[in-house]
Chain A
C-alpha cells in the first residue's frame, strides 16, 4: 500500500513538474480557418516566424464566420481568413484595424467518379453548378458560414438557384468543417466545394476526385487583420503587428510559396509590397 501510494504520487509529480518549459512568454492568438491549419501550412509557416521573432503563435482554427466572431469578442489578436466581404464588414464596423491581402489558393469542385451530373472537365463553374441542379445530383454543403461555404453560396445565388438548409432535397447542408464534409461526401457520395489545400492533404477520398477547377470564380483570397485595440484594449498590438508585417514581407511570402505537398504548391503569396 505504502509503495503503491508513493508510486502514484511520483507519477503525478513527474506529470506536473515536467510541464513543457518550452512555452514562449511572448505569444499571440491567431484565429484562422481550418483550411490553413488542416492543409499543414501553419506547421510549416509558424516555426519560421517564431525563430525570427521569438513570438509563439497560437492558432485557433475554425470557420471564417466563427473566426470573425472570435475577433469581435476579443478572443484573438489577429485574424487570417478568406472571405473578402466579411472581412471588409469587420473593418467597416471597427472591429479590425486594417485588412492586408496575404495569399490565395483556389477552390475545386470534387465529386464521385461516376459523375452523375456529367460535369467533369467543364471549366465554367457556374455551368457545372447549373447541371448539378438540373440533374438533381446530391450536393454536400458545409453550411457552417465558413469562407468556403460563403463562396459556394455566392455561386448559387448568382445563378438564381435558391438553396438553403431546407432544400431542395438534393442539397444537403452538413454544418461541418471541410474535412468532415469531405468524409461525408465520399460516403454519400456527393459533389462538394473544397479548398485545394485541404483536398490535397485529405486522405479518405473514397470515390471522390476533382471534376471542376481553374475558373476565375474559384479564386480564394486570404486576408490578415489586427483586431482593433480601441475595441479590445488587451489586444497584443505590437506582437500582432510584427506577425502581420512578417507574413506580408518577403520572408513570410517566400515561406508560404515554399510549402508543397506531393510536389504541389498549395498557397500563392500575393501581398502588395508595403510602402511602395
Chain B
C-alpha cells in the first residue's frame, strides 16, 4: 500500500521537476512507437482495405492467419528479430542490433497484424454497405479502396490507436532487440522493468502511471483530430 501512495508522490515530483532523463525516455518511447505505428499504418490500412475489397483464393485463410497473428508473443518476435538483425544473422551487416531502429522493426512486426485485422473488420463492413453503389458507378479497385479508406477514417483511428497501445506497452521484444541501453534504447517499459528488478517498486509504478497518462493523452488527441475531420471532401 505504501508503495502505491509513494508512487503518486514520486510521479508528481518527476513531472513537476521535468526530470531530464525521464523526458528523454518519454520522448524516445513515443518516437519509437509512433514511428512503428506510422509504418504499420502505411502497411496495415491498405492491406486491410485490399482484404476487404479484393476476392482472391486463400483470402479467408489469410484473414484467419492475420487475426491469429494479433496475439503474437512479443518475446518470440523479439527473439526472431534478434536472430535476423544479429551480426551473425542474415541482416547483420546493417548493424541495427541494439538500436532504436531495431525496436521500431520489432514493434512494427507486432502491430502490423493488429492494424491490418482491425482495419479489415471496419472496412469490410463499410464495403458491404457501399459495394453495389460503387459497382454501379463503375469504380475501379483502387478507387473503391481509396473511397472506403477515406470514408472509414474515423473508425480507422481506433484500429491505429490499438496498434499504438500495443507498441507502447510492449516490453519483451524491445528489451531483447534494444538491450535497454541507457540513453540509447531505454524506453518507458524497459525502465519500468529495470526499476522493478532493482526492487524500487514505487519508482516503477510512478513511471507506469506517467506512461499510462501520456498514452491516454495521445489517444484523446487522436480522437479529437478524428472527430474534427470534415465531412466535406471533393465536390
Contact = CB atoms under 8 A, between A and B. Distances in A.
A74 B86 contact: yes
A203 B198 contact: yes
Contact of B230 (A1, A62, A182, A232): A1
Interface stretch (A86-94, A107-115, A173-181, A241-249): A173-181
Interface stretch (A14-22, A129-137, A143-151): A14-22
B180 A60 contact: yes
A23 B31 CA distance: 16
A75 B199 contact: no
Given A4-B224, A15-B34, A232-B87, A60 B197 contact: no
Given A58-B98, A74-B87, A234-B87, A4 B182 contact: no
A179 B197 contact: yes
Interface residues of A, number: 40
B15 interface: no
Contacts of B224: 4
B225 interface: yes
B88 A43 contact: no
Contacts of A201: 198
Nearest to A180: B197
A234 B30 CA distance: 31
A234 B198 contact: no
A16 B31 CA distance: 7
A227 to B, nearest CB: 10
A4 B225 contact: yes
Contact of A234 (B89, B95, B183): B95
Contacts of B184: 23, 58
A8 B197 contact: no
A73 interface: yes
B207 to A, nearest CB: 14
A18 to B, nearest CB: 7
A74 B92 contact: yes
Given A204-B201, A234-B95, A43 B225 contact: no
Given A73-B86, A74-B87, A203-B198, A5 B225 contact: yes
Contacts of B19: none
Contacts of B88: 72-75
B221 interface: yes
Given A1-B229, A75-B97, A20 B196 contact: no
Q: Which of B87, B95, B201, B228 has the most CB of A within 10 A?
A: B87
A202 interface: yes
A7 to B, nearest CB: 8
B59 interface: no
Contacts of A19: 31
A18 B27 contact: yes
Nearest to B185: A58
A75 B197 contact: no
Contact of A38 (B92, B181, B183, B197): B197
A12 interface: yes
Contacts of B229: 1
Nearest to A46: B182
A51 to B, nearest CB: 15
A20 B225 CA distance: 28
B13 interface: no
B24 interface: yes
B66 interface: no
A30 to B, nearest CB: 9
B31 A15 contact: yes
A205 interface: yes
Interface in B131-168: none
A209 interface: no
Contacts of A60: 98, 179-181
Contacts of A58: 98, 179, 181, 184
A38 B194 contact: yes
Interface string A166-200: 00000000000111101100000000000000100
Given A15-B30, A58-B179, A73-B89, 15 more contacts: A1-B229, A4-B224, A15-B34, A16-B31, A29-B98, A34-B197, A38-B194, A60-B181, A73-B87, A179-B198, A183-B199, A202-B198, A203-B200, A234-B87, A234-B95
18 contacts: A1-B229, A4-B221, A4-B224, A7-B221, A15-B31, A16-B31, A18-B27, A43-B182, A60-B181, A73-B86, A73-B89, A74-B88, A74-B92, A179-B196, A183-B197, A198-B198, A203-B200, A234-B95
